[in-house]
């Protein structure tokens, strides 16, 4: 891969010529046992305004569904010739997406998950931007949509809101490193040639395939456009509510660790201490609290092995890399949880989580009984005074060089 710091505008000018007229757009939809949702999802795709594109191609890959999804797909496809249905034996969402990508013929490429929907005009702003800037892809904001008590509730995560607070055209990842946290494939439109020429691939047989592929995307791009518009409705389903139980599965943890390790290796290979700093301090820690909590959950599968793997990963990814977890930017209570994991104090972690459940995170982090523990890092001892830290301060403490040095895994 060409070092992104040495690229010129030549590639952008070549790509820009591909979109002189209205481009064609391919939409890849992997489907497996989502009969309850898939028709609504497809209707939201078919209802999109098409004034910015010359042709719409919807490639639906039925990955061996057994719940009636296939019959729904055939019926909807008969109503609209832009839908192509491909059927394959169950092989996982990554392979289903790859099947769709291989079949795509559009100038542009995007993705939709079959249990989500698109807002009223998801694509127009991104397509216009790509035609104007010649960037490799455009990325918009996503809202989570939940139905509570019969009423729809929409919300955007703070990090998503932060990343999409302003429009940024022809952006480079070095200029917007926090975009590495945008690990979703469905809120973006790509030049299909960019995707195929850079051999972007989703790891197979893992629940966390997007992070590796999207890290490849951001590192490979000459430029990308960041939009302020909401382009995707990420539906919160009732059957997604058992997150803690899923996190307590050993295979889930193994897949999460492997995905993070692959991401670290990709960013390390890019050779940017700035990107690595952002990855370790702001991006990778975001979801670790789920596994900290799962580690002491009563339903945890093989708890001793789970703890061993979790602690080893925390030491490898942060402490061995010269970035103690307490120096990350996640909330204070999560940093305290990680420190207890690193200290091999499972019983104390369970006690802290019980305090969180009883008093709430804010009070728990101020009342915890280890405030006078001499091993407690100063940043956690003075946590009430210094909850939020500045990234520049962390860079100064850690040093950029240490972030690019591979360290052995402990634990």
> pLDDT by residue (tens digit) across 349-398?
999 999 999 999 989 988 899 988 999 998 887 665 444 443 334 434 44
In this structure, is residue 274 part of a structural domain? yes
Give a yes or no: residue 83 inside a domain.
yes
8-17, 20-29, 95-104, 401-410: range with highest mean pLDDT: 95-104
* Residue 343 sits in the same domain as residue 235: no
**At 185, which CATH number?**
3.90.550.10
Residues 311 and 367 both lie in one domain: yes
Question: Are 127 and 24 part of one and the same domain?
Answer: yes
Checking if the pLDDT of 218 tops 70, the result is yes
Report the candidate in 371, 398, 394, 369 with the shortest Cα–Cα distance to residue 383.
Answer: 371
The answer on 257 and 218 residing in a single domain is no
Q: Would 409 be classed as within a structural domain?
A: no
188 and 301 assigned to the same domain:
no
Q: Are 108 and 24 in contact (CB under 8 A)?
A: yes
Average pLDDT rounded to a whole number, residues 295-299 = 93
Query: What was the pLDDT predicted at 239?
Result: 59
* First vs last C-alpha separation in the chain: 34
My answer on whether 199 and 157 are in the same domain is yes
Cα dist from 265 to 262, 278, 309, whole Å:
5, 14, 19
Of all residues in the chain, what percent are helix, strand and coil, respectively (each to 5)?
50, 15, 35
pLDDT digits (tens, 9 = 90+) for 33-44: 999 999 999 999
The verdict on 292 and 161 lying in the same domain is no
Report the range of poorest mean pLDDT among 54-63, 163-172, 246-255, 303-312.
246-255
Mean pLDDT across the stretch 92-113? Answer: 97
The predicted pLDDT at position 255 comes to 92
Cβ neighbours of residue 240 closer than 8 Å, sequence gap 6 or more: none
Same domain flag for 285 and 174: no
149-153, 315-319, 335-339 — which is least confidently predicted?
149-153
| Domain endpoint, select from 215, 240, 265 | 240
In angstroms, the CA 104 to CA 172 distance is 27
Q: How many domains does the chain have?
A: 2
C-alpha separations of 217 from 41, 74, 126, 165, 284 in Å: 25, 33, 16, 21, 17
What is the residue range of 330's domain?
Answer: 243-404
The pLDDT assigned to 384 comes to: 53
């Amino acid at each position: 891969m060409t070092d992104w710091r040495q690229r010129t505008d030549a590639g952008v000018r070549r790509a820009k010529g591909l979109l002189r007229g209205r481009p064609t757009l391919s939409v890849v939809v992997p489907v497996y046992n989502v009969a309850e949702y898939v028709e609504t999802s497809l209707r939201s795709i078919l209802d999109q305004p098409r004034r910015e594109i010359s042709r719409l191609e919807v490639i639906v890959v039925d990955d061996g569904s057994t719940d009636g999804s296939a019959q729904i797909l055939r019926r909807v496809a008969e109503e609209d010739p832009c839908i192509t249905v491909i059927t394959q034996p169950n092989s996982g969402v990554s392979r289903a997406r790859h099947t769709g990508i291989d079949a795509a013929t559009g100038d542009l490429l995007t993705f939709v998950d079959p249990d989500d929907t698109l807002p009223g005009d998801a694509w127009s702003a991104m397509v216009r931007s790509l035609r104007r800037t010649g960037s490799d892809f455009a990325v918009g904001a996503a809202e989570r949509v939940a139905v509570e008590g019969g009423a729809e509730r929409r919300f955007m995560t703070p990090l998503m809101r932060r990343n999409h607070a302003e429009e940024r055209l022809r952006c480079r990842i070095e200029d917007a490193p926090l975009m590495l946290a945008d690990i979703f494939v469905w809120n973006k439109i790509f030049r299909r040639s960019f995707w195929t020429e850079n051999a972007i691939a989703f790891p197979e047989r893992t629940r966390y395939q997007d992070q590796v592929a999207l890290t490849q995307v951001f590192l490979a791009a000459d430029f990308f456009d960041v939009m302020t518009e909401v382009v995707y409705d990420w539906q919160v389903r009732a059957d997604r509510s058992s997150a803690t139980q899923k996190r307590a599965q050993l295979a889930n943890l193994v897949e999460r660790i492997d995905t993070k390790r692959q991401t670290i290796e990709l960013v390390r290979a890019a050779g940017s201490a700035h990107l690595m700093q952002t990855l370790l301090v702001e991006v990778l820690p975001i979801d670790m609290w789920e596994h900290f909590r799962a580690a002491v959950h009563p339903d945890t599968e093989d708890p001793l092995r789970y703890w061993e793997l979790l602690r080893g990963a925390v030491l490898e990814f942060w402490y061995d890399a010269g970035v103690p977890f307490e120096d990350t930017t996640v909330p204070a209570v999560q940093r305290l949880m990680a420190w207890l994991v690193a200290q091999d104090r499972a019983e104390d972690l369970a006690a802290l989580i019980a305090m969180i459940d009883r008093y709430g995170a804010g009070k728990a982090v101020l009342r915890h009984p280890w405030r006078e523990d001499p091993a407690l890092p100063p940043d956690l001892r003075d946590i009430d005074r210094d909850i939020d830290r500045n990234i520049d301060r962390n860079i100064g403490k850690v040093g950029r060089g240490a972030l690019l040095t591979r360290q052995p895994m402990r634990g």
